[in-house]
Amino acid sequence: MFRKTFLVLTLFLVFACNEDSKQREEIDKINIEFKVERFDQKFANAEPEDLPQLKRDYPFLFPAQYPDSVWVNKMQDSIQLELNTEVTAAFKDFSKEEDELKTLFQHIKYYFPSFKAPTVITVTSDVDYRNKVLLTPDFLFIALDTYLGKDHQFYMGIQEYLKKNFERAQILPDVASQYAERYVPQPQKKNFLATMLYYGKLLYLKDRWLPDTPDFEKIGYTEEELKWADANEEQIWRYFVDKELIFDSDTKLYSRFLYPAPFSKFYLELDNESPAMLGQYIGWHIIRDYMDKNDVSLQEMLDTDAETIFNKAKYKPKK
């Protein structure tokens, strides 16, 4: 009996590996063309007399209500000059990120054939960390001054839970998040479960699009935070169940368990040990279980309501 079970398991793993390898080959063959425009460098190297040409090339970056004097002053501003120096030193070569973006775009197009790659424009943003990545129908803007490393001097005074994701490695997951929001429908119901699974769907798209990215980077955790969540998955779920939070519509649960914060708020002594967004973490695992146990396409999952997914996932947290 043991030999038969072992043989079946071995054949299953071999088949799964072959399917994964075949899929990767298909994705690698997808033709993706896009440009990376280093506006940050062009602005850093510009003189006042270059401003008219910059405005012609990038009119969307120069709002009409601001006179030219604003941009000339910015070119000569000491803080902007320091930003230019630090970003140039850190991102003199952007080729690695360009290759990673190409692979991401190939994955998105594989699952969503109508996808069109954008023009990627790198900028500085006065460390506007609330808008590290901005996506429009034609352009993808990446603010490089928000990815200089969590210990950079520019980030003094910013809370640690935010700074931890000001790392270069976070560019790709942040871009993937922006695209995932385009493909995941907003939840039909406004309760904790539906919102958990909305975030779970976003993270599951990252599973498909970023197969080589560690889970902790997909969700925006440190390695230690993900280890804590993994070690306490059963206790997190039991708390949600015991407190009858699953179908609760109290929006305060979002700030407690779904949004970025210093920690999750169980109102227990362990709060300071816990990472934020544990509702997203649980929603992610429910979606993974649903996809593992049901023969459905990615699009079918995205279109399926939360209660159906929850019932069919038969989610059981790791002990």
- The domain locations on the chain are 36-182, 185-313
Q: How would you label 130-144 residue by residue, b for 16+ Cβ within 10 Å and e otherwise?
A: eebbebeeeebbbbb
CB 285 within 8 A of CB 317: yes
pLDDT at 11 over 70: no
What is residue 210's predicted lDDT score, i.e. its pLDDT? 98
What is residue 8's predicted lDDT score, i.e. its pLDDT? 53
pLDDT in tens, 120-146: 999 999 999 999 999 999 999 999 999
The answer to whether the pTM exceeds 0.85 is: yes
What is residue 15's predicted lDDT score, i.e. its pLDDT? 53
Phi, psi of 24 (to 5 degrees): -65, -40
**Between 22 and 93, whose confidence is greater?**
93
pLDDT at 286 over 90: yes
Contacts 24+ apart (CB under 8 A), 51-55: 51/75
pLDDT at 106 over 60: yes
pLDDT at 7 over 70: no
pLDDT at 17 over 80: no
pLDDT in tens, 144-192: 999 999 999 999 999 999 999 999 999 999 999 999 999 999 998 999 9
| Residue 210: Cβ within 10 Å count | 20
